[in-house]
Structure 1
Amino acid sequence: MKRLLYAFLLILMSLPVFAHLGSITGTVTDHATNQPLRGVHVQLTGVGKGTVTNELGQYRFVGLVAAPYKIEIAHLGYQSTVVTVTVPDDQNVVVKTVLNRSAIELSEVVVSAQQARDQQLISRLDIKMRPITNSQEILRMVPGLFIGQHAGGGKAEQIFLRGFDIDHGTDIRLTVDGMPVNMVSHAHGQGYADLHFVIPELIEAVDFKKGPYTTDKGNFTTAGWADFRTRTALDRSFVKLEGGQYGTFRAVAGLDLLGQRGRAKNQSAYLASEYSYSDSYFDHPQHFKRLNVLGKYHGHLSPTTHLTLTGSTFWSQWNHSGQIPDRAVESGLVGFFGSIDPTEGGKTGRTNANAELVTVTPRNYTLKNQLFYSHYDFELYSNFTFFLNDPINGDQIRQKERRNLWGYNGSISRTDNAGKIQFTTTAGFQYRQDMTRESELSHTRNRIETLERRQFGNINELNAGAYVDELIQFSDRFSLNAGLRFDYFRNQYEDRLQPATGMQQADAAIVSPKLNLYYTANPRFQLYLNTGKSFHSNDTRVVVPQNGREILPPAYGSDLGAIFKPFPKLLINAAAWYLWLQQEFVYVGDEGVVEPGGKTRRYGLDLSVRYQLTRHLYADLDLNTAKPRAIGAEMGQAYLPLAPTFTSVGGLTLQPAGRWSGSLRYRYLGNRPANEDNSIVARSYFVTDLQVNYTRARYQVGLSVQNLLNTRWKETQFATESRLQNETAPVDEIHFTPGTPFFARLGWTFFW
């Protein structure tokens, strides 16, 4: 009898726990656009529960006893707010919150345990404080990433990051709204990533991570990855006109197609276009032309489903002065801004279609589906060695291709609670197929006459990847992220110079595990340890002859870092990192050969500091060191050519203080070896830029100055063996592209 009584009392005591629990479901939107805000920090005051909004701007708290609650909602660049609600027994309370934009206050930035894996504080600060003003600034938003342009304004920039000379994208994965930018088996080089189809004024955010630690990022994710996200909606329509030195002109326009009527229905649509022209500062005018057109629609098919459709097209054509050897300038053969072969140049174009559908089901599953397609054309004329191989006609080459690229990104994820432990499980599948027609490398003369076809064929490359990812938040302080990724490649090549060989094929696969740990001591300090494996693929024209052997060399990396706020207005991110590569295969499109670099290792330190000096004045500083070395090389031959060893970027930014805003910035790239024994050195440079804006309600006037101090500097440098027309023997020395001299542009923007 006593046992029955005890059991009955135990059941009665348990009833309030199981029968009277309520919940809160909320959404957060932007006041100006009425669009949902993702990544908003939401905290239940005094309860110890926190979360962030999902893709639809939604959040949820479950298992709440009947009581009044205060909800603190904070997002960078928006006014924080506190909402008071009362949760009744067994009921769900719906909360809708609209956030107004405001000036950035570093004191309000929180180091959040809920955002540990996707911590992008530095990125969000930078994009808010110093908006992108030109196409090159797009890539510079990643701390420690340097770029160099060495073939006119239309060619993809050369990229440097974490001790890598990444060429045009071999070891960094770049995407725009989830759509790939890197081109596999490209006519000019593996991973070629041309971001010039992006209109700078439309960039809303840049998500990035250095190192191979993110499960849903596959090929090229060795040094890191960056995803550039364009605006879902325009705050208002605008027209921008710019004019500057060297025959430079640019016009940009963005038209909000639905206005307030669309916002009332949770819809937005806009059309934007950009046209650029410049002769540039070289002795031989570039006649650079670029046209961009983009249209985007975003709508809510239901309260839990939204659809985003994007279409864009891009075209560019230019002449360029190429790289010139030091001796040609020193002898007076050409000027600092001169050219050895002024017939170099190129043209390129890309048309994109992108559809994204996000759904949150009643059982709290988040489904993401994305389909994308690109048609791409590329033609480039270059001459790096002048008369080394052909003393009569010169060494000019043409690289050309036509490509169709399509693919799919899909994932399903869900967050569950088991007591105080929270589990977020994600599974995904990705598919990409590239088909090129007439991928070509030819010897040409004067950009007109074809002397010899060296490579000519069709490529069909398929990459399918699947992954699972688990994020376990054990408490408000400690979380663990583990993931496993599988990638399969099928490479096919039809050599049209040897038609008898037919279509050749090779297959390969690789598994990439990840493990990341995060410890958030308080809202001012977080430690993290990232570890992972990734890879970069090799060119199909190299893969097929090797029958698929050693074509997916793995990379293993680790980061030990900290994010902390020692003072309310000071934010610091510091990390020590290490990266080991089994093989650095590099496909040299200029020669049509592969250069195996062997095993390499890199390690270094990254430091990013953001400080609010006054209410409107901010300072930022990035310092990055690296020690890149080849493993197993002979004594004194272990240097990695052009790999950066020390870089620094920093400046002052004035947020709107009355009608004025602007920035003064510098960038420094230190001396680095240009060859394996460091006998040839690529020299350092220090360049400053200035931006000043005067803003009224309906218009803005801006002055942009690149290289404010008119420093003479070499933007890209290579140790190249070449021969000039009258030379009897080749010379191996620095060949360079001159950096921008003092270059001022004046812009006017009208809003409505």
Structure 2
Amino acid sequence: MGAPVYAHLGGISGVVYDQATNLPLRGVTVQLTGLGKAALTNELGQFRFDGLVAAPYKIEMSHLGFKALIIDVIVHDDKVTFLKTALTNAPVELSEVVVSSQRAHDQHLISSLDIKLRPIVNSQEILRLVPGLFIGQHAGGGKAEQIFLRGFDLDHGTDIRLTVDGMPVNMVSHAHGQGYADLHFVIPELVEGTDFKKGTYNTEKGNLATAGWVDFRTKTALDHSFVKLEAGQYNTYRAVAGLDLLGKKGRAKNQSAYLASEYSYSDSYFDNPQHFKRLNVMGKYHGHLALNTNLTLTGSTFWSKWNHSGQVPGRAIESGLTGFFGSIDPSEGGETSRTNLNAQLVTVTPRNHVIKNQFFYSNYNFELYSNFTFFKEDSINGDQIRQKEHRNLFGYNGSYSTQAYVDKSRWTTTLGAQYRQDITYHTELSHTKNRIETLNRIKFGNINELNAAAYADELIQFSDHFTLNAGVRLDYFRSQYEDLLPVTATTKWATQAIVSPKLNLYYTFNPGLQLYLNTGKGFHSNDARVVVAQDGRQILPGAYGSDLGVIFKPFPKLLINAAAWYLWLQQEFVYVGDEGVVEPSGRSRREGIDVSMRYQLTKNLYADVDLNTAKPRAIDAETGQNYLPLAPTFTSTGGLSLQTRSGLNGSIRYRYMGDRPANEDNSIVAKGYFVTDLQANYSKRSYNIGLSVQNLFNARWKETQFATESRLQGEAAPVDEIHFTPGTPFFARLSLTYSW
């Protein structure tokens, strides 16, 4: 059922474009002044109002980062007036941000503001756009960052679902750890925006979306071609270029294509130089196959190689064995590569039904050398390990959405199907020496993991005030592991399915106040090697969560988002990739409060602060023995951002993580830190000069910390204490960008 039919009444329809790229704008708020009627533009930038009496109307169009527009329109009986409108870029005005029932379930006001205001200077900054999300690098610049969010030490992605343009980033049953998510194949200058939501509440998001999910959107088109050069301390160099291939002629035909590349090199601040190298290449095409059908093709390839200093025990520094930026095993390091193909097809039918089809493929290679325990297991050769895999990942995402009007309510029904298959070759964990000699293979085999899913989602806007979202998804897993260690290879497989219901309620009192209650069940899958070892039992542990929150604009230039949340996880088995063993973790619960505030101090100056508390506990352990190691309990980020018409812009930002337990009884504590970063830019039409400073006040801090039992060479017995990777000292970089 499509839009309602009204006899002898007229209507207004239209398309909204970005003037800079001539491409459709999705999510533009279109309002009929004084009537309380509003719409959002769809995937093709289209909107429509029906059932209008013949009369003159005023239409208001607004979109964050664009100049608001008011248009006079005359509607005639039995006719639909068509508008084609272009919006121009403009400085962000918080007073224009509207809390709307139109976009209740997918409203990301905070992330939309942040991406417009904060300069992104490296891949790490992309993840930090999520309020309350912290990252840490503990194995050189090339390894995926360790992630912290909502009372989770997420390792490299166990409980957060990361995608880029809808294509999965997380690697299930990875050689290093479940859900391993390496975002370094993304060129920061090409990130257009981020969509995210904390918790288990979106029907479309399945595996790993327990603490939350993040989808990074890369630019569909370049406003202009550019070249950027960077140079900084510690022999740090970077070059980025983006070339608009079709220019104005392509835009006139609603087509765009660009090619971009990035090369980075750094020795970094460690005593043992990293010799870090990274190469990225990406190309993207966007065009119309038909009047109402868009095709987007993206291809990219990425390669990185590095040395790293590993984690240092406190006693090694106290004894003078090594310095704060030193190393116990200087032969650690790694190499990784990933090649992606992504095809997205969006069709909007004449009755405003939206059909989406996406096909993706990745070829991925990974090799990492680490040494966490030094000489604990092998007092002669040391405990260095190699984790290695070759992977082919392919899949499909599809959905069909339709809208129906029942009285004054609008029902949006979405049916979706998803498929993903990961096939790895020679997934390996081995005991090695000096990255050359293989002493013993601990795990060695092939993995074939399939995840198929179907879901149904209903979004009902009963009125301009009340919106309800309900959905359910079914996921099916088939996990297979071929063990190549025995003389005769053995193959085992197991299957399991899980149902995940969701229910979300939103009540919008006015354009400045909305209350919401999010509830839902989610899950994360376990490593295929655990699945077959447990004969398919307890391999898809459920996660049950809820958020009670408010979005509030007490006055035009202040936006507040606050939520009290709760998350309960079932028993699960965890595969420890560094040791090749299975550990049961028991049930757990986490609860806390998130508060985000954005305030426009002046026309050019913006302030923001995020405060996040969490109380993570193991349910089945005794009181005092029930702490969850490394789970953050209090974090805060914030800063000031400046945007001026004269070309001067930038930000100064802090991040703070409080002390947190490093083991189950809190007898070992991971110390907190407070770090400040600075970014300053001077921009004119064809060039930009930038200064980036990490750790502005040169604080000495520990970026990642672990309670690890290790033995140094010559020690009689192992010692259990904090092992850490030092955070960056004062680190300045200059950049020059030229565009045409």
TM range (shorter): over 0.9
Matches within 5 A, 1:231-380: 231-380=219-368
Aligned to 1:355, the other structure's residue is in SS state strand
> In 2, distance between residues paired with 1:141 and 1:570?
19
Give the drift of 1:586. 2.4
Give the drift of 1:435. 0.1
2:374 is aligned with what amino acid? F
Q: Which moved more, 1:436-445 or 1:47-56?
A: 47-56
Deviations 1:390-415 (A, max 9, x none): 00100000000000000000000011
1:139 is aligned with what amino acid? L
Matches within 5 A, 1:473-552: 473-498=461-486, 500=488, 502-552=490-540
> Does the aligned pair in 1 maintain the 2:539–2:572 contact within 8 Å?
no
1:685 aligned onto 2:673 = yes
Change (3 A) 1:333 1:470: same
Matches within 5 A, 1:41-80: 41-80=29-68
> Does the aligned pair in 2 maintain the 1:561–1:576 contact within 8 Å?
yes
Give the drift of 1:560. 0.4
- Partner residue, 2:564: 576
> In 2, distance between residues paired with 1:614 and 1:484?
45
- Partner residue, 2:163: 175
> In 1, distance between residues paired with 2:6 and 2:87?
35
- Partner residue, 1:740: 728
> In 2, distance between residues paired with 1:641 and 1:303?
55
- Partner residue, 1:705: 693
1:434 aligned onto 2:426 = no
> Does the aligned pair in 1 maintain the 2:411–2:459 contact within 8 Å?
yes
Change (3 A) 1:647 1:18: closer
- Partner residue, 2:119: 131
Residue from 629, 647, 655 that aligns with 2:635 = 647
TM-score (norm 2): 0.99
Deviations 1:412-447 (A, max 9, x none): 001111121100000000000000000000000011
Change (3 A) 1:18 1:216: closer
1:581 is aligned with what amino acid? L
> In 1, distance between residues paired with 2:153 and 2:620?
20
> In 2, distance between residues paired with 1:303 and 1:64?
26
Give the drift of 1:501. 5.3
Residue from 202, 208, 212 that aligns with 2:190 = 202
- Partner residue, 2:208: 220
> In 1, distance between residues paired with 2:360 and 2:483?
28
Task: Report how many residues are paired.
Answer: 737
Give the drift of 1:500. 3.5
Give the drift of 1:545. 1.4
> In 1, distance between residues paired with 2:575 and 2:214?
23
Residue from 65, 84, 92 that aligns with 2:72 = 84
Q: Unaligned regions of 5+ residues in structure 2, if any?
A: none
1:727 aligned onto 2:727 = no
- Partner residue, 1:663: 651
Give the drift of 1:672. 0.1
Give the drift of 1:587. 1.6
Residue from 131, 139, 148 that aligns with 1:143 = 131
- Partner residue, 1:6: none
Aligned to 2:529, the other structure's residue is in SS state helix
Q: Unaligned regions of 5+ residues in structure 1, if any?
A: 1-16
> Does the aligned pair in 1 maintain the 2:530–2:573 contact within 8 Å?
no
- Partner residue, 2:544: 556
1:655 is aligned with what amino acid? Q
- Partner residue, 2:398: 410
TM-score (norm 1): 0.97
Give the drift of 1:660. 1.1
Give the drift of 1:89. 1.3
- Partner residue, 1:158: 146
Give the drift of 1:65. 2.2
> In 2, distance between residues paired with 1:584 and 1:244?
45
> In 1, distance between residues paired with 2:665 and 2:99?
44
> In 1, distance between residues paired with 2:335 and 2:161?
23
Aligned to 2:376, the other structure's residue is in SS state coil
- Partner residue, 2:370: 382
Aligned to 1:407, the other structure's residue is in SS state strand
> In 1, distance between residues paired with 2:39 and 2:621?
50
1:628 aligned onto 2:649 = no
1:145 is aligned with what amino acid? L
Aligned to 1:76, the other structure's residue is in SS state coil
1:190 aligned onto 2:168 = no
Matches within 5 A, 1:101-116: 101-116=89-104
> In 2, distance between residues paired with 1:449 and 1:501?
24
Aligned to 1:729, the other structure's residue is in SS state coil
CA RMSD in angstroms comes to: 1.0
> In 2, distance between residues paired with 1:182 and 1:584?
19
> In 1, distance between residues paired with 2:8 and 2:486?
77
State the structure with more CA Rg: 1
Q: Which moved more, 1:584-593 or 1:487-496?
A: 584-593
Q: Percent identity between the aligned chains?
A: 76
1:155 is aligned with what amino acid? K
- Partner residue, 2:82: 94
> Does the aligned pair in 1 maintain the 2:119–2:650 contact within 8 Å?
no
1:398 aligned onto 2:386 = yes
Change (3 A) 1:388 1:18: closer
Deviations 1:360-405 (A, max 9, x none): 0112210000000000000000000000000010000000000000
> In 1, distance between residues paired with 2:69 and 2:109?
19
> In 1, distance between residues paired with 2:487 and 2:101?
59
Give the drift of 1:646. 0.2
> In 1, distance between residues paired with 2:603 and 2:62?
19
2:464 is aligned with what amino acid? D
> Does the aligned pair in 2 maintain the 1:20–1:66 contact within 8 Å?
no
